[in-house]
Structure formats: C-alpha cells, structure tokens
Structure 1
C-alpha cells in the first residue's frame, strides 16, 4: 500500500437516469440537466448506466449524443454497455459518431456476459441465433477492432455511384484509447490489461476465494494491480473507481435521514458474497466530506487510483442529486486533492 493516497486527478459521477413510466421525457431531461450541472461544477466526467426493459436509460449512446450538444468540456462515458445486447459493428458506428459530435469526449465502458434474464428475453433479442451467440471476450475484441480501424469487410471501392470503405465510418481517432472494460474479477482485470483497455471498477467485486476473509478493498486492490501488471502501460494504465458516495455537508436534516436509511437498507449485502456468482458489495459512504475523506484514505483500492466516478444512488430526487454533486465538487473533491476544471 502506498504511504499516502494518490492525489485525486479526475473526479466524475455516474447516474442511472431513472424516469417515471408515465413521463419518461422528464426523467431523461433531468439526466441531461445533471450532466450540464456537472460541467458547471468542474467535474471531469459524467457517466450513465445502461438498463434494458427497466425504467432507466436503455440507450446511453443516444442520451450522450444529446449531452454532447449541451456541454463543451466534460467527458461523457457509459458504465457500462452490456455487449450481450449489442451488435459490435453497429455499436462501433454509433460510438464513433457520438465521439466526433462531442469533439473527442466519449469514454465507452463495456462488459460481457449473457443478457440478464436471458431465457426470458432471448426470443425477442435473438429469436434465431440465441444458442449460437458468443457472449464472451470475443465480443469485446470485435468492438475493439472495429473502433480502432481494423477492416470490417474485404470490399472497398466504388460501385455505381456509391463509395464503400472497408472499415467503420466515421472513424474517430483516439476513441480506441478511451475504451473501458467494466470488470469485477481477476480474470477480467487481467484481460482488460492485456488488450490495452482502461479499467472501470465499481462497488461490486467477485469474491473468488471460497475461504475468505472478504475484504472488499483488498479484493479490488488485487484486481487493480493485476490489471496494471498485464497492461502495456503498467502503472500509468488508467483505472477509475466507482463507489457509492453521498456527502451530506449541505444536506437538510430530512435528506440526511433519507440517505442514511438508504445506505442502512443496503448494508447487509456487504457482509458476505451474494448469489452463485459470489458478488461482494462495498458499503455506501454517507457523511460529511471530512468523514468520507478519512474513510477513502483508509481504503486500500482508493489509494491506488487517481480517477473516480462516484455513483449516485438510484432512487433519489433531482434536488438530491444537485445537493450531492455540489458537495462533491465544492467540499469532497478538494479534500481529496482534486481541482475543478476551468
């Protein structure tokens, strides 16, 4: 463990973009307003989650295309796009288009694995090919190749009045270096490093030792070190941490009570691995910026990173997010050594 934490270089936030089924436009507009607020507060990045057949953002690339036209500086990311729902070739076209529209600010984060509730959705998603689909790392490799400019076809040239390219168009230079892998296991961390991706860590890791003990920070630390050991850039390889962090400096008494109750409901799942996949959750961090800073400085994995994308709680109101982001940018970030962007 380093003797002191690395000064925080990049501060970002992550939102799920919830909406009411009866008024989905208002929820999407709220997300865009939160991203605009993040830019005004000096955040380095804003990230959106991906939710299918739920009341959260199902098309983050489209939302970030809109955000790219309402902001000018803040980086825009996805955390994460589950590739089991996507065609890598088509996704590469969308990502490149939005990256160009944003002026090179897109940070796509992806993950692999079969879609959630696959048995219930496969008839709608892959009616003819469900049993033949590859939901492993090969799907990411296809996306990486297309984004980085590798050929997608063996034909290029002029046919009649139309001109054809053999690689994805538009091509977005630099986007290939801004692709992130959302991983929670040692295998995923190593794979992302070997393939020159950046690593998104979150508030969930896989507890791979059946004997324990189950220390979230130490498990995450081992993954970060495995990633950098496998990455061509070594210690300079980018890692972003995504814990749930709720500063309360300017919160009202009612807000503080609600935040603490939210965290308390979720605390039992942090005691031991959950489910067959043995997923271990980090405790939510609720308190003043001084209290949260002290806890983060004692967090073994946080001490290894200089970028974060703190996750906003799922179910809070727009005004709660305004308060939380304002405290993050004006209180917590500076306490962690961060300076807002000009």
Structure 2
C-alpha cells in the first residue's frame, strides 16, 4: 500500500440478529446501531439478508425505518439474493425507499439458486419452481427496471382519474448508478464491471483453477479485473469498489469482551487455513487486535491495497454493547489511522 493511499469511505455491515421470542428488540438495536454510525461519521451502513433465520429478512423495511431516523449515512444491502425476489416488485420497493431517503440507498444483489431451495421451492415458487431463471439474466432485468426502461407499452389515463405508467414507479434517478453486485469469483467480478455495476467483495472468494489459494492475492486480482472491465464499459464514470472484512478492534474493549472476541475468532480460524468445498472457497481471516495491529495487517493485505472504500463486517453473534465498542473504536482510532476522515 503506497503512502499516498488513504481510506476514503468507511462503512459497516450488520446481520441484525434478534431473539425469536422478542424480535422487536433486535430490530430496534439495529436501528440504534445505524443511528450511532451516523453520529460517529461513518459513510455507510449495510444490512445482510437472512431468510428463515433469526436475522433481518427484510432489509428494505429496515432501511425505510432507518432513513427516517438518519439524514446523511448511506444505507445498503450486502447482499440481497435475487433468487428470493421478484425483480419488478424489488425495483418498486427500493425506488420507494430511495425517494424517502433522498437518494441514500445502495442496493447490493447477487444471483444463484436460493439456499436450501428444495425445502422452500414449493412455497417460494409453487407453480414455477422448475423453470425459474436464477442466472445473471435476472440481474439484467432488475437493472433495466431500476433504470426506468419500459415494462409494457400501455400508459396514460383509464377512466376518469386513474393514470398508469409504462415503467416502475416511483422512478428514482440515480439509483441505477448505485446498484452493487456481490462477486466472489473472477467471472462475476468481470461481469459486474461490464454491466455497469459497483463491486462488493467480501470475506469469501472463489479462486480460479490455476490460482494459488491465497485469499488476499485472489481478491486483489478480482478487483483489478473488475476495475479494468468497468473502465472499458464507462471510461468517464468510475465504478465504486467496497471490501468487507471482519474487523474487531479491541482498544477500548473490556477484559471480558476481549476474551469473548478472541474465542469467536479462534472458532472461525480453522476454516481460513485451507480451501473449502468443491469450488475451493477461501475465507478471509478475521482481524482482531489493537487498531495499530489491524492497520499493519490491512496495509499488508493485497485486497485492501486495491480499494479506498470498506464496509467492515460486525461479528454475527455479539451483543449491542459490543457493537457500540467496536464501531466507536473503528471511528475514533482505526479509521483515522487508515487516513479516513469522519463524514459530517
């Protein structure tokens, strides 16, 4: 990482866990964390989708609520699995929330067959489960709808007062430029760049067959390939790239919190030591320690060296007070050490 390289935009990602016996408390905690993020100067807050789990299943609804309790911070999804969504209805909902937030929504999406599809297909797509298209064509359709391309030929008045549009309404100008694609492979990263999307790259990557299984190097090459494809697609409109690693600064953590955090990292570390599954999936190491220690690791991380924007992922199973401590340390200590300046 060069001396001139500074982190320009800093965000965080949360899964929004809740107690199934008291889901309101968990959702309120998420909203309070987003409000805290804005006060601390974070540039963005991202929500991760969780279906049929005890995490946020409707980030759009949560973003709508957050948009009325904040005024500046950008709100995104990282990511919405498009296989669970009707592209037209999703485009309507996102445009509505973008209007309510005055243009602060950053929808991140991905494609593929829904997780555990065989257990939900009879409810999700009762009549069309075997013919649903979960390819990137679904993204292309969604992108066109968000951009305001016609849905049908008919528009105009019908009857005395009803007036109809031929495109998704409300239309939110600029939202199409804020669409992100969650890519973990070289092919997906290049595709996102070729199709005018921004890139979300996380703590999971899939190396090519001839690549050395080094997470940081694989991620760096994917980002470079995306940037080249995006530049060729739109030379005058630089695409955004955001990296999402799990980062846990312990500067102001209590002794009990430090023990808890290290136990969490120790449990997850073995999966980072070798490729996983048939696609040789690579997991990034969780970064834990003082802000100075984390900065040193990030400076040596080839993937981080390629970006000027991050959305650090909050650990999934921590408590509200833990998130307050982690975000406060990131904003007050870690971010500034990386050259970032709080917004507002």
- TM-score interval w.r.t. the shorter chain? over 0.9
Residue of structure 1 equivalent to 2:75: 76
Q: Distance in 2 between matches of 1:154 and 1:190?
A: 33
Candidates 279, 283, 294, aligned match of 2:281: 279
Contact 2:186/2:207 (<8 A) preserved: no
Q: Distance in 2 between matches of 1:54 and 1:273?
A: 26
Contact 1:5/1:302 (<8 A) preserved: no
Residue of structure 1 equivalent to 2:61: 62
- 1:236 Cα deviation (Å)? 3.2
- Secondary structure of 2:78's counterpart equals strand
- 1:237 Cα deviation (Å)? 2.1
Residue of structure 2 equivalent to 1:45: 44
Contact 1:89/1:146 (<8 A) preserved: yes
Residue of structure 1 equivalent to 2:172: 172
- 2:254 is equivalent to residue 252 of structure 1: yes
- 1:258 Cα deviation (Å)? 0.9
Alignment of 1:162-311 (within 5 A): 162-209=162-209, 213-231=212-230, 232-233=233-234, 236-311=238-313
- 1:213 Cα deviation (Å)? 2.7
CA deviations 1:90-131 (Å, max 9, x no partner) are 000000000000010000000000100001110110111011
- 1:207 Cα deviation (Å)? 2.3
Q: Distance in 2 between matches of 1:155 and 1:272?
A: 55
Count matched residues: 340
- 1:74 Cα deviation (Å)? 0.2
- 1:285 Cα deviation (Å)? 0.1
CA deviations 1:43-101 (Å, max 9, x no partner) are 00000000000000000000000000000000000000000000000000000000000
Q: Distance in 2 between matches of 1:112 and 1:273?
A: 22
Runs of 4+ aligned structure 1 residues displaced above 6 Å come to none
- Secondary structure of 1:236's counterpart equals coil
- Secondary structure of 2:176's counterpart equals helix
Q: Distance in 1 between matches of 2:211 and 2:102?
A: 46
- Give the unaligned 5+ runs of structure 1: none
**TM-score under structure 1 length normalisation:** 0.97
CA deviations 1:281-321 (Å, max 9, x no partner) are 00000000000000000001101100000000000000000
- Secondary structure of 1:116's counterpart equals coil
Residue of structure 2 equivalent to 1:31: 30
Contact 1:5/1:303 (<8 A) preserved: no
Residue of structure 1 equivalent to 2:320: 318
- Secondary structure of 2:13's counterpart equals strand
Residue of structure 1 equivalent to 2:145: 146
Candidates 331, 334, 340, aligned match of 1:332: 334
For the aligned residue pairs, the C-alpha RMSD in angstroms reads 1.1
Q: Distance in 2 between matches of 1:261 and 1:4?
A: 34
- 1:5 Cα deviation (Å)? 6.6
CA deviations 1:241-278 (Å, max 9, x no partner) are 00000000000011111111101110111111111232
Q: Distance in 2 between matches of 1:289 and 1:33?
A: 24
- Secondary structure of 2:39's counterpart equals helix
- 1:279 Cα deviation (Å)? 1.4
CA deviations 1:178-226 (Å, max 9, x no partner) are 00000100010011000110000000001222x6531100000111011
Q: Distance in 2 between matches of 1:118 and 1:338?
A: 41
- Secondary structure of 2:222's counterpart equals helix
Q: Distance in 2 between matches of 1:124 and 1:87?
A: 14
**TM-score under structure 2 length normalisation:** 0.97
